Amino acid sequence: MNLTINGLQHIGIPVTNIATSEAFYKRLGFVNVMEAGFTVEGGTGTCIMMKRDGILIELYQMPSRQLAEIKGRKDGRIDHIAFDVPDADQAMATLRHNGFNVVEDTPVKLKFWMNGVKFFFITGPDGERLEFNQVL
């Protein structure tokens, strides 16, 4: 296949409350760089693009929960987004100190890549899982 992919453009996450999700991602250092409405079957939804360094996350709220489910958005959630961190222990301590819902008690170690990884998850306002991953 001759397909050029330059890198990750953005990650789209359906949310139930755009303001709550925007505030959550701002606490992680993301900035709202774009906001636009969109029309779906006579209703207006909202989309915002949150950016931090080279990471772009699209948060979108459908006009209603029922319309989101009809359009198949209920089953289309992303399992998790993984952020690369230089020190998983330090990242965990920082997030915990700042009141984020850290899932694990300590970073999990797995024998991935050459020397392994350490990672942990936090959860967002709609149950999305954000992984903080250190490749050892």
pLDDT in tens, 8-67: 888 888 888 899 999 999 999 999 999 988 887 788 889 899 999 999 998 988 887 665
Q: From 125, 128, 126, 127, select the one nearest 27 (Cα to Cα).
A: 125
| Tokens (6 digits) for 51 | 């950016």
* 74, 103: one domain: no
Q: Check whether residue 117 and residue 100 sit in a common domain.
A: yes
Domain extent for 111: 79-136
As for how many domains the chain has, the answer is 2
What's the pTM value of the predicted model, to 2 decimals?
0.73
Q: What are 83-123's pLDDT values in tens digits?
A: 989 999 999 999 999 999 999 999 999 898 889 989 999 99
On whether both 59 and 94 belong to a single domain, the answer is: no
What the block records as the tokens of 58 is: 């699209």
Q: Let me know whether 30 and 43 are in one domain.
A: yes
Do 21 and 40 lie in one domain? The reply is yes
Between strands 129-135 and 108-110, the pairing is unpaired
CATH number at residue 94: 3.10.180.10
Rounded to 5 degrees, what are φ and ψ at 135? Answer: -85, 125
* % of the chain at pLDDT higher than 90: 49
Q: Are 72 and 85 within one domain? A: no
**Residues 112 and 68 both lie in one domain:** no
Q: Are residues 66 and 10 in the same domain?
A: yes
Handedness of CA 85, 115, 9, 47 (dihedral sign): negative
